[in-house]
Chain A
Amino acid sequence: MSKENTEDTSQGIDRRKFLSVAGVAGLGTVALSGCSTDRIEKLIPYMVGDEDNVPGIATYYASTCTECPAGCSLHVKTREARAIKLEGNPGSPINRGRLCARGQAGLQGLYNPGRLSGPQLRNADGSFSDVSWDEAITLLAERVGAAGASVAVVSGAGAGTFSDLLAAWVGALGGRLVRYQPFDNEALRAANQQVFGRNEVPTYDFAKAEYILSFGTDFLETWLGQVENQHGFAESHGFRDGHMAKHVYLGHRMDLTGMNADEWHAIHPGSDAAVALAMANVILSERNRAPNDANTLRSVLAPFTPERAAEESGLSPEAIRLVAREFASQPSLAVAGGIASQHRGATEACAAVNVLNYVAGNVGQTIHFGSGRPQGDGYGALEELAAAMDAGSVDVLIIHEANPVHSVPRAANFAARMAKVGFTVSTSSVMDDTAAHADLVLPNLHALERWDDLQPRDGVHALLQPVMMPVRDGKAAGDVLLEVARAVGGPLAQFDAASFEVYLKDRWAAVGRQRGRHDFRVFWTESLASGGLFDEPAVGDVVRLAPGARNVGYQRPTFDGEGDLVFAPYPSSMLYDGRGANKPWLLENPDPVTKITWQSWIEIHPDTARQLDVREGEVVQLVSPHGTIEAPVYPYLGIHPGVVATPLGLGHTAYGQYADGRGVNALDLLGGEDGGGFLPYLSTRVELRKTRRFQKLAKTEGNPRQLGRGIAEAMPFAAAVEGKTVAEVHGGPHEVNTELEQEAIVGWAEAQREKSLEGDYAGEHPNWGMAIDLSRCTGCSACVTACYAENNIPTVGEREVVRGRELSWLRIERYFEGGEDGEPFSTRVVPMMCQHCDNAPCEPVCPVFAAYHTPDGLNAQVYNRCVGTRYCGNNCPYKVRYFNWLSYAHLGFDDPLQLQLNPDVTVRARGIMEKCTFCIQRIRGAQNTARMEDRQLADGEVVTACAQACPSGAIVFGDMNDPNSRVARAGQDHRGYHVLGDLNVRPSVTYLAKVQHGGEH
């Protein structure tokens, strides 16, 4: 309870600050937008100042993230007229001020070195050359005018003004529009249609669930909104006041979501429907809390016994019964529909889970229909269009916000089918796989450079506004549509708005009138400043079983090929469907599970690896009937022994310098057939062939075991409820010092400290500290990207990561527990950054005082003084000091990525040491503000970048000398401990031990 209150305070301050700045900014942007359509040759930041633009003071604009369909709202921090950081908008009910790594990396889409400098037209020889916008639009208008109804458009599936305009535009032509995006939950929607008569994706209330059961659904990674799900998950699964939800994960691979489960069971791939139906059967036959109409399913479910499910899944019948009983006995939530377990029977499986949720009474409790989530037409529709293209019935194909050449299996031959279209147009702002096959590329403006709005669900009308001058010469796709309409006339004459901005404002004027807001200027400015309109979430519709529910069933799904191993491609939590592959922040942010960066890899169970005699880093071929991929092996305990897995997202044929030729596209192994409206990802068997070559994995993990050092601590739920400390739970695992010795050491340190309170160190100072709740932290790594963005950390690239030289000031350490000798396998994560030790071992060894202690308890690193002896790095027991071995500041920011740099933070030169500063620029900034306003700093006013981003709110920062601060209270928590505390370095970061349900069965 207190947690929520305090969180509100912090957000309140954010909001206040935001309103004071962005209110003005909104107006400023109106002025700015007037010239945003002008041709700009070069981006010259701050040559001509804007009156609202105060040098050295950040301006925040509200906008909306377009990196995935979740629709998180943004606060874009700009300095001197360039965007430097993306943060969540606290006003949004979706992301509540937080943002995932992918969202934050949107900035690197804006400043991507691969962005096209203008329209590109394909020559006869296949190469591209520059054309002017006028020529390009004229050409497109000619083609569209000639093609008429045989125009087809493939577009991303977002709902909003542009999307509506596009639909109307295509409709006016009589053309065909396919809204397609990968991972569109087609199977889930079909199952909802079958069981509940609702063809939609509902909202899931993880926060309310006391028991979460995931059937291979990566809801903490790519499934629906990561940030929203993670917040809900942390609310329920984070230990607080003796409560914590239990999370059970049934899937062939332990992904990040599985890592955060209390129990993970590696069921056979494709057996989820059998398990879900058996559980529903158990619940129905043992308890009768189920809705009345569920009883009609009794006979349907009767054949699905736990014994049969056990045979199919490899789980024991007892385990199925136990999980079913636990599931039924409390507010619970079962989720299915993750891409990684989208096999040929995915619709069946989702339907089975629907039934399970229904009999447990969850529908309407933790699952709400009527969400109004936008939905695409699905893979089936894209396949139909492709067939039409093949048949030559498409004359003009426009591809907008989609990259089917990469995201559709090669076997489906989308590129070859594109060649059969008379004229293909891409609006991609970079030369991606699909654009490379187009005849005309009309680079769209980046989402941070253009006007639009999005409706990610009912009640959320999120606005996008240009936050700065375009980095490259693009044109908003909306303006392209309008200009083409003007040129073509005829059926398109109705689209007569002067610009897309005008079109958008007209729509919003109508919205304003609907809401009784007749002063459009005020309504618009307020909406812009708050990032859109965020209404109270609607109460979900009451949903009952549809007749189709009686058709639930289970059939063992089929897999192509004769190989011994089932191939499981899964969405990368960093690269998503592959759109992140041109952003170095995402490539270098280690995969939360394997900790591999920049590469593709093949996960295989160590036992299977031993049988096949392959080792880590050994490059192997996976051969399916549809294709072959080649990648290094990563043995991973968290995978079913009969499965090999590879992340999606890499293997681009064209996508800019970072993605080109990097890794493999796991889709190459798939057949690409329409599996009933969706693409069955989990549908092939592969044969593993050795190549006898080795490749060093670019992983940041050294040793995945803690070796009894108590770095990532955890305690059983029962012990946590009793209020036991970590030491009590472990019986003091590190009996290094006797009590007397400890006292002597601590007493000596205390005496030393007292002697050192002189000069600047005398008097009252804050003592900055941090608390990290490992029971909330999921390891999603959003904080890592936040740290990169805030602190100008250069990405070092694959080769340097292989050499162990990544500069990640904040790393998520991931440790394996058990998994051998029959012990259950589990993982723990611990975010590790500079611990700002009071008795910092790094400081006294620096010969030139480059590392020293500030009076307010920070372990400072003065870059200018550093000569690079690296002694501090050696002596840091946490290994959180990073050295600039090469000139990474030059290597890491290819033009124009340097424009994203935060001017408040030094870019470090070669030959010096750097590390986490607790975002000292934010501390000093907040202190200066407080001083200017002649007041004390309030708790929560200083928010480090990692704490700001954390979707689960695991990180708290503040003054430990203030006994009422959140961080000081967290420090008193019984779960609190210091990593390597027995070294007596007195770190300023307190970790709260993870809590695990376990041993209940």
Chain B
Amino acid sequence: MAKQIPGVLGSFVHVDAATDAIKTLRTQGHTDLTVYNAAPNHEIEEALEQKVSPVRLFTLAGGLIGCAAGFAMTIWMSLDWPTMVGGKPFGAIPPYTVLAFELTILFGAMFTVAGMLILSFLKPTNKLMYDEKFSDDQIGIFVPCSSDRYSAVEEVMMQAGSVEVRHAS
């Protein structure tokens, strides 16, 4: 188990309680909150003022590379050893479009997944406090802070309606 980052973890049952806590904590300067939820939730996203994920750039890049790779591979391989079939030209574009299309999708999808993984785990979560209820029906808010801030943060959470507040040992 990696060494835990010091901070406070609050659990919430009610979504409006959680957003209240987020908003208050953010105004207090705690912008690097980690909010756990079992499903994405727009209210929480709004409270966190999330920006659109850059994963789409990966998708675009993957798609373009795939398309180019598709045409490049088919045309080059056809011309590497010209072999006539059915009286057709060696580098026939119409059939190769099919392959370029498939590779566009394949590379696009793979790049998207890679992007998701890279971006998601750029900010590692394994050193943060976590509770198994967060994958069930509770919302968790983890505030990384030094131990002297623990009580202040706990106070905010309790006021907002947290059902349970803990801090790192």
Partner of A851, one of B85, B89, B90: B85
Q: Helix, strand, loop or mixed for chain B's interface?
A: loop
CB distance from A844 to the nearest CB of B (A): 4
Within 8 Å CB of A841, what residues of B? Answer: 86
Interface residue? B124 (CB, 8 A):
no
Docked pose: A758 CA to B87 CA in angstroms: 12
Interface string of B75-112 (1 = CB under 8 A from A): 00000001111111110000000000000000000000
**A228 at the B interface (CB under 8 A):** no
> Does A84 have its Cβ within 8 Å of any Cβ on chain B?
no
Task: List which A156-174 residues lie within 8 A (CB) of chain B.
Answer: none
| Residues on B with beta carbons closer than 8 Å to the beta carbon of A846 | 85
In the assembled complex, which residues on chain A have CB atoms less than 8 Å from the CB atom of B90? 755-756, 758-759
A808-859 interface (Cβ within 8 A of B): 838-844, 846, 849, 851-853, 855
User: In the complex, A642→B84 CA distance in Å?
Assistant: 58
A455 to chain B, nearest CB (A): 55
**B87 contacts A752, CB within 8 Å?**
yes
Q: Which residues of A contact B87 (CB under 8 A)?
A: 749, 752-753, 756, 838-840, 853, 986
Most A CB contacts (10 A, CB to CB) among B83, B87, B88, B89 go to B87
Contact of A4 with B by CB under 8 A: no
How far apart sit A755 and B83, CA to CA, in the bound complex (Å)? 12
**Given A756-B90, A758-B90, A844 and B85 touching (CB < 8 A)?**
yes
Q: Within 8 Å CB of B86, what residues of A?
A: 839-844, 853
A761 CB-CB contact with B under 8 Å: yes
Q: Closest Cβ of chain B: how far from A510's Cβ, in Å? A: 64
Instruction: Report the minimal beta-carbon distance from B73 to chain A, rounded to whole angstroms.
Output: 15
Evaluate contact between B84 and A853: CB separation under 8 angstroms: yes
The residue among B83, B84, B88, B90 with the most chain A CB atoms within 10 A of its own CB is B84
A844 touches B88 (CB 8 A): yes
Q: CA–CA, A760 to B90, complex, Å? A: 12
Q: A726-768 vs B: 1/0 string, CB under 8 Å? A: 0000000000000000000000010011011011110000000
Q: Separation in Å of the A137 CB from the closest CB of chain B?
A: 64
Hey, which chain B residues are within 8 Å of A844, CB to CB? 85-86, 88
CB distance from A580 to the nearest CB of B (A): 41
Q: How far is the CB of A588 from chain B (nearest CB, A)?
A: 32
Q: How far is the CA of A846 from the CA of B88 in the complex (A)?
A: 13
| Cβ-neighbour of B88 out of A756, A758, A855 (below 8 A) | A756
A843 & B82 in contact (Cβ 8 Å cutoff) = no
Chain B residues, Cβ within 8 Å of A843: 84-86
Q: Which residue of A759, A842, A986 contacts B82 across the interface (Cβ within 8 Å)?
A: A759
Q: Which residue of B lies closest to A854 (CB)?
A: B84
Could you tell me the distance between the alpha carbons of A758 and B84 in the complex, rounded to whole angstroms?
9
CA distance A114 to B87 in the complex (A): 49
Residues of A within 8 A of B89 (CB): 752, 755-756
What residues of chain B lie closer than 8 Å to A756, measured between beta carbons? 84, 87-90
Contacts of B82 in A (CB 8 A): 758-761
Q: Which of A749, A753, A760, A853 contacts B85 (CB 8 A)?
A: A853
What separation, in Å, do the CA atoms of A752 and B89 have in the docked complex? 6
Q: Quick check: B85 and A849 within 8 Å, CB to CB?
A: yes
A329 CA to B89 CA in the complex, in Å? 60
Shortest B127–chain A CB gap in Å is 51
Q: Are the CB atoms of B88 and A752 closer together than 8 Å?
A: yes
Q: Mark contacts of A980-1001 with chain B using CB atoms, 8 A cut-off: 1 yes-contact digit, 0 otherwise.
A: 0000001000000000000000
Q: Which of A756, A761, A849 has the most CB of B within 10 A?
A: A756
Encode contact with B along A488-514: 1 for CB under 8 Å, 0 otherwise: 000000000000000000000000000
**B88 lies within 8 A of A852 (CB):** no
A753 to chain B, nearest CB (A): 5
Question: In the complex, what residues of B have CB within 8 A of residue A755's CB?
Answer: 89-90
How distant is A619 from chain B, measured CB to nearest CB, in Å?
A: 46
Which residues of the other chain, B, contact A749 by a CB distance below 8 angstroms? 87
Closest chain A CB from B165 CB (angstroms): 64
Docked Cα-Cα span, A752 to B83, in Å, equals 14
Q: Of A753, A839, A849, which contacts B83 at CB under 8 A?
A: A849
CB distance from B107 to the nearest CB of A (A): 22
Closest chain-B Cβ to A662's Cβ sits at a distance in Å of: 43
Residue of chain A at shortest CB distance from B85 = A843
A845 CB, nearest partner CB in chain B, Å: 8
| Interface core residue of B86, B89, B90 (most chain A CB under 10 Å) | B86
Residues of B near A753 (CB, < 8 A) are 87
A761 touches B84 (CB 8 A): yes
- A842 CB contacts on chain B under 8 angstroms: 86
* B residues near A849, Cβ cutoff 8 Å: 83, 85
Q: How far is the CA of A281 from the CA of B87 in the complex (A)?
A: 64
Q: Which of B85, B88, B90 has the most CB of A within 10 A?
A: B85
CA distance A241 to B61 in the complex (A): 72
| Bound-state Cα–Cα, A843 to B90, Å | 13
Determine how close the nearest CB of chain B comes to the CB of A667; give it in whole angstroms: 54
Among B82, B83, B90, residue most surrounded by chain A Cβ atoms (within 10 Å): B83
Q: How far is the CB of B97 from chain A (nearest CB, A)?
A: 15
Q: Which residues of A contact B83 (CB under 8 A)?
A: 849, 852
> Measured between C-beta atoms, what is the minimum distance from A850 to chain B in Å?
10
Q: Which residue of chain B has the shortest Cβ distance to A839 in the bound complex?
A: B87
| Shortest distance from the beta carbon of B101 to any chain A beta carbon, whole Å | 18
Residues of B within 8 A of A760 (CB): 82
How near does chain B come to A65, taking the closest CB pair, in angstroms? 43
Residues of A with C-beta under 8 A to B85: 840, 843-844, 846, 849, 851-853
Closest to B91 in A: A755
A contact residues around B88 at 8 Å (CB): 752, 756, 844
CA distance A871 to B83 in the complex (A): 18
For B119-150 the 0/1 string (1 means CB < 8 A from A) is 00000000000000000000000000000000
Residue interface mask A270-294, B partner, CB < 8 A = 1: 0000000000000000000000000
- CB-nearest residue of chain A relative to B86? A844
Q: Which of chain B's residues has its CB closest to A761's CB?
A: B84
How many angstroms from the CA of A753 to the CA of B85 in the assembled complex?
10
Interface residues of A in 173-218 (CB under 8 A from B): none
Q: Which residues of B contact A855 (CB under 8 A)?
A: 84
Chain A residues closer than 8 Å to B84, beta-carbon distance: 756, 761, 843, 852-853, 855
CA distance A378 to B90 in the complex (A): 69
**How near does chain A come to B89, taking the closest CB pair, in angstroms?**
4
Residues of B within 8 A of A752 (CB): 87-89
A986 to B87, CA, bound (A): 10
Distance in angstroms from A582 CB to nearest chain B CB is 44
CB B92 to nearest CB in A, in angstroms, measures 8
Q: Which residue of A lies closest to B95 (CB)?
A: A844
Name the distance in Å between B23's Cβ and chain A's nearest Cβ.
Answer: 61
Closest Cβ–Cβ distance, residue B87 to chain A (whole Å): 4
Complex: A379 Cα to B82 Cα, angstroms: 68
Complex Cα–Cα for A843 and B83 (A): 10
A846 to B84, CA, bound (A): 12
Q: How far is the CA of A843 from the CA of B88 in the complex (A)?
A: 10
CA distance A853 to B89 in the complex (A): 12
In angstroms, Cα B161 to Cα A514, docked, is 134
Beta-carbon contacts under 8 Å, A941-988 to B: 986
Q: Whole-angstrom distance between the alpha carbons of A475 and B95 in the complex?
A: 66
CA distance A758 to B92 in the complex (A): 14
Query: Complex: how many Å from CA A603 to CA B92?
Result: 54
Write the nearest CB–CB distance from A837 to chain B, whole angstroms: 8
Least CB distance from A913 to B in Å reads 15
Minimum C-beta distance from A57 to chain B (A): 32
The residue of chain B having its C-beta at the shortest distance from the C-beta of A851 within the complex is: B85
B45 to chain A, nearest CB (A): 48
Shortest distance from the beta carbon of B84 to any chain A beta carbon, whole Å: 4
Given A756-B84, A756-B87, A852-B84, 8 further pairs, Cβ under 8 A: A756-B90, A758-B82, A839-B86, A839-B87, A841-B86, A843-B86, A844-B86, A986-B87
CB<8 Å pairs between A and B, sample of 9: A759-B82, A761-B84, A839-B86, A840-B85, A840-B87, A843-B85, A843-B86, A846-B85, A849-B83
- Identify the 8 closest CB pairs spanning chains A and B, nearest first: A755-B89, A843-B85, A844-B86, A759-B82, A839-B87, A853-B84, A843-B86, A844-B85
Which residues of B are interface residues toward A (Cβ below 8 A)? 82-90
